Amino acid sequence: MKLLLSRLLLGISVFVCFALPGFAEEKHPAEWEAIDARPVPQWFLDAKFGIFIHWGVYSVPAWGPLPKDGAANIYECYSEHYWNRLESGNPLFVRHHSETYGENFKYPDFAESFKCEMFKPGEWAKIFRESGAKYVVLTSKHHDGYALWPSEFSPGWNASDTGPRRDLLGEITKAVKAEGLKMGYYYSLLEWNNPLYREDIGRYVDTHMLPQMRELVEKYEPEIFWPDGEWDHLSSTLKSPEFLAWLYGESPVKDTVVVNDRWGKETRGKHGGFYTTEYDLVHSDNVKDSQIAHPWEECRGIGHSFGYNKNESLEDYSTSEELVHMLVEKVAKGGNFLLNVGPTADGRIPVIMQQRLADIGKWLKVNGDAIYGTRPWGGARENAADSVYYTAKGGDLYVIFTKIPPESFELKGIEQAPSSASILGTDIAVGCEYSDDVLKLEIPALTLENSPCDYAWAIKISGCL
């Protein structure tokens, strides 16, 4: 009877543990405490702008529906989810696939067409450097499990055994580092089509996922480790705290590596390194009214998808002006901006994406001082105004106008009279009148002739903080 009772109690506690989400989520806070206490390395906070690359077998069909075709939400537009959309019978994907390739053509059959014959890593890296980005994050392996490096844990399903027969990840890494940028890897914890993932998550984690993550880190020494696909399981099931203890304690990048918050279904906006948002939607509540103290990063594509989507046309792409404004807004709120490019299966970065990056780069050449190394300004809320953003660095304040600046502009709560003020990228001095914590700026008119850039203009106010 006693035995029966204790069995029953054990049964109940196991049931409660798994049935009540809150309980299970709070099960291992201690494991996270030490990990969360490690500060995000400063280089990441200063870098502000990075390039995301989604590239893999999904770049062959390179297709996703558009909002105007009835895609239900932004996820349904993602071309990198192609395989899973077919398997789960999404009518938009299934129709496109059977009309274009026929029902008998399976996703793995695309692998041999992922040839990357025009891929020139050196040229990619130059494009990234010229964009003003300070780091790059490449999909080492997306949800389809296909590895861009010769991973011993994905035999026959990696870029070295199929298609390009090259170590794409290794080549990009070398080229990006040679341009002086930091290199990081996105890594999907889940593999939708791996039977082990579906049937025996414990074995998947122990014999596939964790050893593969270590292989990636030991062989290529990333400066960012960017997991994703964490939503099916708790971080304890994925053994994320264990991996992080190794990453921070023993790995070759233990002192420098930066990680995000996607480590288990309970971790976003709570644990790990910087918090992540996506298309301003996913988990944006964590950073909404920003000025949050915790480091964060917004990622998005230039169009509606991360992987290249042939279905998109000009109207689906954000303009350079929109992208510069996004960058300014994120940075003013204390975030980084990770802008994605989706290269083609033959290894090119689509020209329109190159053009957007070049425009951002031109803008940053003039205004980088108002972006890199800055922090949000404490007086931003008090001085909130339409199309005006603030950043601060040392004793200097930057006022960034995303519309042509007005003739005069007043700032409250300024600590001291500035030593000077000017429009970045010019020698145009801005008049300053200071009394009782109020600074009045007199801004000379910007014209086609004297404007240093397009899209947004920054005034640097030196020594007022």
Stretch that binds ligand GLC, among 73-81, 217-225, 351-359, 378-386 (CB under 6 A): 73-81
- Residue 54 or 460: the one with the smaller Cβ distance to ligand GLC is 54
In contact, 137 and 338? CB cutoff 8 Å:
yes
Does 299 help bind ligand GLC (rule: CB under 6 A)?
yes
Rounded to 10°, the helix 320-332/351-367 angle is 50
- Residue 166 or 304: the one with the smaller Cβ distance to ligand GLC is 304
Question: In this structure, what token pair is assigned to residue 186?
Answer: 């996105």
Does 377 help bind ligand GLC (rule: CB under 6 A)?
no
Q: Least distance from C-beta 186 to ligand GLC, angstroms? A: 6
In contact, 139 and 227? CB cutoff 8 Å:
no
Q: 148 to 187, contacts with ligand GLC by CB under 6 A?
A: none
Residues 118, 119, 123, 125: what is their CA dihedral angle, to the nearest 10 degrees?
160
Contacts for 148-156 with beta carbons within 8 Å, 24 or more apart? 148/55, 148/56, 149/216, 149/219, 149/220, 151/212, 151/215, 151/216, 152/215, 153/208, 153/211, 153/212, 153/215, 154/212
Instruction: Mark residues 380-409: x for contact with ligand GLC by CB under 6 A, - for none.
Output: ------------------------------
Least Cα distance to 419 among 399, 434, 403 occurs for 434
Residue nearest to ligand GLC (CB): 278
Q: Least distance from C-beta 198 to ligand GLC, angstroms? A: 17
Q: Amino acid letter at 429?
A: A
Stretch that binds ligand GLC, among 78-86, 176-184, 320-328, 398-406 (CB under 6 A): 78-86
Q: Least distance from C-beta 295 to ligand GLC, angstroms? A: 16
Name which position in 44, 49, 55, 78 contacts ligand GLC (CB under 6 A): 78
What's the DSSP call for residue 160? T
Q: Under 8 Å CB-to-CB from 47, ≥6 apart: which residues?
A: 134, 135, 182, 336, 372
DSSP string covering 64-120, please? ---GGGT-SSGGGG-GGGHHHHHHTT-HHHHHHHHHHT-TT--GGGGGGG---TT--
Name which position in 31, 76, 228, 297 contacts ligand GLC (CB under 6 A): 228
- Residue 142 or 362: the one with the smaller Cβ distance to ligand GLC is 142
Q: How far apart are alpha carbons 122 and 171 in whole angstroms?
A: 9
Q: Residue 185: what are its φ and ψ, rounded to 5°? A: -125, 130
Does 306 help bind ligand GLC (rule: CB under 6 A)?
yes
Q: Least distance from C-beta 260 to ligand GLC, angstroms? A: 9
Q: Least distance from C-beta 300 to ligand GLC, angstroms? A: 8
Least Cα distance to 454 among 386, 383, 361, 385 occurs for 361
- Residue 144 or 171: the one with the smaller Cβ distance to ligand GLC is 144
- Residue 81 or 330: the one with the smaller Cβ distance to ligand GLC is 81
DSSP string covering 340-409, please? EE---TTS---HHHHHHHHHHHHHHHHHGGGTTT-B--TTTTTT--TTEEEEEETTEEEEEESSPPPSEE
Residue count of the chain: 465
Q: Least distance from C-beta 301 to ligand GLC, angstroms? A: 9
- Residue 137 or 327: the one with the smaller Cβ distance to ligand GLC is 137
Stretch that binds ligand GLC, among 7-15, 77-85, 88-96, 150-158 (CB under 6 A): 77-85
Q: Under 8 Å CB-to-CB from 435, ≥6 apart: which residues?
A: none
Stretch that binds ligand GLC, among 58-66, 76-84, 147-155, 366-374 (CB under 6 A): 76-84
3-state SS assignment for residue 448: coil
Count of positions on this chain that bind ligand GLC (CB under 6 A): 7
- Residue 93 or 455: the one with the smaller Cβ distance to ligand GLC is 93
- Residue 78 or 220: the one with the smaller Cβ distance to ligand GLC is 78
Does 80 help bind ligand GLC (rule: CB under 6 A)?
yes
- Residue 150 or 301: the one with the smaller Cβ distance to ligand GLC is 301
Q: Least distance from C-beta 58 to ligand GLC, angstroms? A: 9
Q: Least distance from C-beta 15 to ligand GLC, angstroms? A: 31
Q: Least distance from C-beta 455 to ligand GLC, angstroms? A: 25
- Residue 183 burial by Cβ neighbours in a 10 Å radius (0-12, 13-18, 19+): buried
Q: Least distance from C-beta 400 to ligand GLC, angstroms? A: 26
The residue written with tokens 């341009």 in the block is 179
Show the CA angle centred on residue 168, arms to residues 54 and 84, nearest 5°: 40
Question: In this structure, what token pair is assigned to residue 395?
Answer: 């004793």
- Residue 80 or 312: the one with the smaller Cβ distance to ligand GLC is 80
Q: Least distance from C-beta 241 to ligand GLC, angstroms? A: 21
- Residue 225 or 409: the one with the smaller Cβ distance to ligand GLC is 225
Q: How far apart are alpha carbons 273 and 294 in whole angstroms?
A: 9
- Residue 278 or 396: the one with the smaller Cβ distance to ligand GLC is 278
**Interface with ligand GLC by CB under 6 A: which residues?**
78, 80-81, 228, 278, 299, 306
